[in-house]
Amino acid sequence: MKRIAGLMRKDFYEILGAGRTLIIVILMYLVLGQIFYPSIADVGMLICLMLPVNTIGYDERSGWNRYVLSFPVTKKEIVLSKYLLGYLFMAAGFAIRLTAGVLSGHSEGILLACAASAMLGLMYMAIQMPVMLRFGIEQGRMWTMLFTVLFAFGAVYASQISLSAIDATRYAALAVPVLVIVMQPVSIRISTALYGKR
Nearest to 124 by CA among 180, 52, 59: 180
C-alpha 66/C-alpha 85 separation (Å) is: 21
Residue 159: band (very low, low, confident or very high) from pLDDT cuts 50, 70, 90: very low
Give the pTM: 0.78
Residue 152: band (very low, low, confident or very high) from pLDDT cuts 50, 70, 90: low
Residue 166: band (very low, low, confident or very high) from pLDDT cuts 50, 70, 90: very low
Report the first-to-last Cα separation within the chain, whole angstroms: 27
Residue 5 clears pLDDT 80, i.e. is over it: yes
Give the residue numbers spanning the domain of 35: 2-194
Residues 57, 19 contacting (CB under 8 angstroms): no
pLDDT (mean) for 7-29: 76
Q: What is the distance of C-alpha 151 from the center of its chain?
A: 16
SS3 98: helix
- CB burial class (10 A; 0-12, 13-18, 19+) of residue 27? middle
pLDDT (mean) for 3-25: 79
Higher-pLDDT residue of 62 and 77 is 77
Q: How many domains does the chain divide into?
A: 1
C-alpha 162/C-alpha 167 separation (Å) is: 10
